[in-house]
A and B are shown apart, each in its own frame.
Chain A
Amino acid sequence: MSGRSGRSRRGLQLRIAATVAGIVLLAVAALGLAVHQMVVLDRVRQSRDTADAQIAAAVDVYRRTRLLSFDASLDDTRLPAELRRAVRSSGDRGTLVTGGRTRVVWAAARVGDEVISTRTSVDVVDGSVRALDRALLLAGGTTVVVAILLGLLSAARIARPLRGAARTARRVAAGEPAGSLREAVGGRSDEIGELADAVDAMAARLDARLRAEQQFTADVAHDLRTPVTGLTTAADLLDDSRPAVLVRDRAAALAALVEDLLEVARLDRGSETADLESVDLAEAVRRAVRRGVATGELVEQAVRVGADPDPVRVVTDPRRLERVLSNLVRNAVAHGAPPVEVVQRGSSVLVRDHGAGFDETMLADGPRRFRRSRRTPGNGLGLVIAAGQADVIGADLRFANAEGGGALVTLVLPGEPGSRSPHGEVTIS
């Protein structure tokens, strides 16, 4: 989990920083190139002006003295044809620049039928330009590095509250005390603050709806209790005729359902506390099964109890522990197939049947009220209560399907490290 979210977190920050760096790099590069180009062009223009002045002077000298000055040559064959043509056909002077890195500046003028010209090589990228380029590169590089750092920094300013908000949201989703997202992102009034407020409002609304539903369940169950108690007490007065047995049976079922609902409502309120005692775990398992047999809910032969040879004592709430165990065993007997095995191993208890096992939603989400965990009838409150009571005593309840078929529920009690005896061979009696 942390690996995946860690990567995606880094992603946002890196992406923002990279974007900032990319934009700055482009801007610096464009600016540098433009400066470089302008300097070069200015150089060429200067060379041209110089060449033009020189050829004008050379023409002057030639007209008066018939001497070539300023390295001018007469009817130079290397003179580009287009300049020669241009000078011959129109005007009396012209310049032309050819070449790449080393430019050749041609200047030509017409003197009668003759053309005199000068040729000057200009190294446009000389030392001073290279020094300029270096300065530009240095400044650009520094800017890019600074931009990356600033990008990372400002991205962190965005990413950090988002990360905090995500942590808070995960805690809210897991049902832990988390506080609000607004607290997690601080007092900012930007889009992140807006998102936090919106998510907080959503969570509050969901919470209110959940509470309303829980309250409704509690109210219904509470209001049902008195008439149902009257019903069961009156039904117990009936004789043992078949219709009376049917009425009594259904009245008892109704009363059990109401009590389960009330227990769920109490667990929902989250105000239940464990009443701790030191308990022999194997004995607690045997007692839960014994009592189930005594009340007629379990058939003795249907359940096999196993335990470590050495007694393991745990500090727990015996009443809640028994509730968890008996609900697990009853569920296995009612919805699984025999044999049902209940095995104490260290500070854990395994309840396994040989039926069809749990379905995928049960394995993924755990028990949910009024959603059947198997393909057989039942309201599913028993396992909801078992999970809720296990939570109260700080135990872990794991639902799985056993190898070779059948549902396997493991109750892991918070054991006392000092008092736990070494695990021995499990004997199934």
Chain B
Amino acid sequence: MTQTGRLLLVEDDPVIGEATALHLERHGYTVTWSQDGLEAWESFADEAYDLVLSDVMLPGMDGVTLCRRVRESGPTPVVLISARSDSVDVVGGLEAGADDYVTKPFDVQVLLARLRSVLRRAEQPATGAESAGEESSAGVEEVGDLTVDRRAMEVRRDGEPVPLTPTELRLLIELIDARGAVLSRGQLLQRVWDYEDWEDDAHLVNVHVQRLRTKVGAELVETVRGFGYRLRT
């Protein structure tokens, strides 16, 4: 399947970087490859990218810092590449606002699937609204002290806009659509991230839920220990 999109690839290892760039180009992406974090940040400031795919360990500026800066400047999704054993890096990266991550050594097919899924979310983040039926397609709904406008992709809390990333918005909408039922991490991975199954650890869901909580209020998303999460309304 050929994709379109402008990717900023940040990877300092020459072989991994070049081979990954070749893979992505082969699948239709336009790739700018940078081997240095600082250089990548300058490139990001100059050009418009649809997605940033960055290693965590980088010269110049590390991937987590790069991710945080990208997030501060706008909604461009970030996918991190991390060594599997460095789960601290993964959590740090997700907390800094990364949408997803792949672990080294990654399967190219897995990487491509993740990129497709993240890009799709960025393009039409509120796909959940279509499956949710008539009432929500009417547009605006009230959840606790939140006002969720699916068509405008906008969430307000006490009238103030809440800056959610596409992934966070999708997570919130899935929780709303579950109508108070508990969603397991596996189900959330499937619905929000398009994972067929939980493949890696639960960091991805945990950290995104944490991020969502800090933005929409911690009391709204309840943890059901050992099972998953549900929306408290």
Q: A residues bordering B, Cβ < 8 Å?
A: 222, 225-234, 236-237, 255, 258-259, 262, 265-266, 275-278, 287, 291, 315, 318-319
In the complex, the answer to whether A226 meets B184 with C-beta atoms within 8 Å is no
Within 8 A of A (CB), among B12-47: 13-16, 18-20, 22-23, 26
Q: Can you report 24 A-B residue pairs in the complex whose CB atoms are below 8 A from each other?
A: A225-B83, A225-B105, A228-B105, A229-B13, A229-B104, A229-B106, A230-B14, A230-B15, A233-B20, A233-B106, A233-B108, A236-B19, A237-B22, A237-B23, A259-B84, A259-B105, A262-B84, A265-B85, A266-B85, A278-B227, A291-B197, A318-B198, A319-B200, A319-B202
In the complex, the answer to whether B15 meets A319 with C-beta atoms within 8 Å is no
Contact of A287 among B184, B197, B227 (CB under 8 A): B197
Q: Which of A233, A258, A265 has the most CB of B within 10 A?
A: A233
In the complex, the answer to whether B201 meets A230 with C-beta atoms within 8 Å is no
Contact of A277 among B20, B84, B227 (CB under 8 A): B227
Number of cross-chain contacts by CB at 8 Å: 66
Contact of A229 among B16, B185, B197 (CB under 8 A): B16
In the complex, the answer to whether A315 meets B226 with C-beta atoms within 8 Å is yes
In the complex, the answer to whether B23 meets A236 with C-beta atoms within 8 Å is yes
Q: Report the interface size class on chain B.
A: 20 to 34
Given A225-B83, A228-B105, A266-B85, decide whether A234 and B226 contact each other with a Cβ distance below 8 A.
no
- List the 6 closest A-B pairs by CB distance, nearest first: A230-B15, A229-B105, A233-B19, A234-B19, A278-B226, A230-B16
Contact of B15 among A233, A275, A315 (CB under 8 A): A233
- Can you name the residue of chain A whose Cβ is closest to the Cβ of B12? A226
With A226-B104, A229-B106, A237-B22 known, 11 other A-B pairs at CB within 8 A are A226-B13, A229-B16, A233-B23, A234-B19, A237-B26, A259-B84, A277-B185, A277-B202, A287-B197, A315-B226, A319-B201
Q: What's the minimum C-beta distance from A342 to chain B, rounded to whole angstroms? A: 18
A residues near B19, Cβ cutoff 8 Å = 230, 233-234, 236-237
B residues near A225, Cβ cutoff 8 Å = 83, 104-105
B residues near A231, Cβ cutoff 8 Å = 15
- Can you name the residue of chain A whose Cβ is closest to the Cβ of B104? A229
B residues near A258, Cβ cutoff 8 Å = 105
A residues near B15, Cβ cutoff 8 Å = 227, 230-231, 233-234
B residues near A236, Cβ cutoff 8 Å = 19, 23, 108
Contact of B16 among A226, A262, A315 (CB under 8 A): A226
A319 vs B205: C-alpha distance in the bound complex, in angstroms?
14
Q: What's the minimum C-beta distance from A332 to chain B, rounded to whole angstroms? A: 22
A residues near B14, Cβ cutoff 8 Å = 230
B residues near A232, Cβ cutoff 8 Å = 105
In the complex, the answer to whether B13 meets A230 with C-beta atoms within 8 Å is yes
In the complex, the answer to whether A262 meets B85 with C-beta atoms within 8 Å is yes
A265 vs B86: C-alpha distance in the bound complex, in angstroms?
13
In the complex, the answer to whether B197 meets A277 with C-beta atoms within 8 Å is no
A47 vs B226: C-alpha distance in the bound complex, in angstroms?
103
Q: What's the minimum C-beta distance from A173 to chain B, rounded to whole angstroms? A: 29
In the complex, the answer to whether A276 meets B226 with C-beta atoms within 8 Å is yes
A72 vs B216: C-alpha distance in the bound complex, in angstroms?
135
B residues near A277, Cβ cutoff 8 Å = 184-185, 202, 226-227
- Can you name the residue of chain B whose Cβ is closest to the Cβ of A256? B105
A-contact bits for B80-112, CB 8 A (1 contact / 0 none): 000111000000000000000000111010000
A230 vs B106: C-alpha distance in the bound complex, in angstroms?
10
A258 vs B108: C-alpha distance in the bound complex, in angstroms?
18
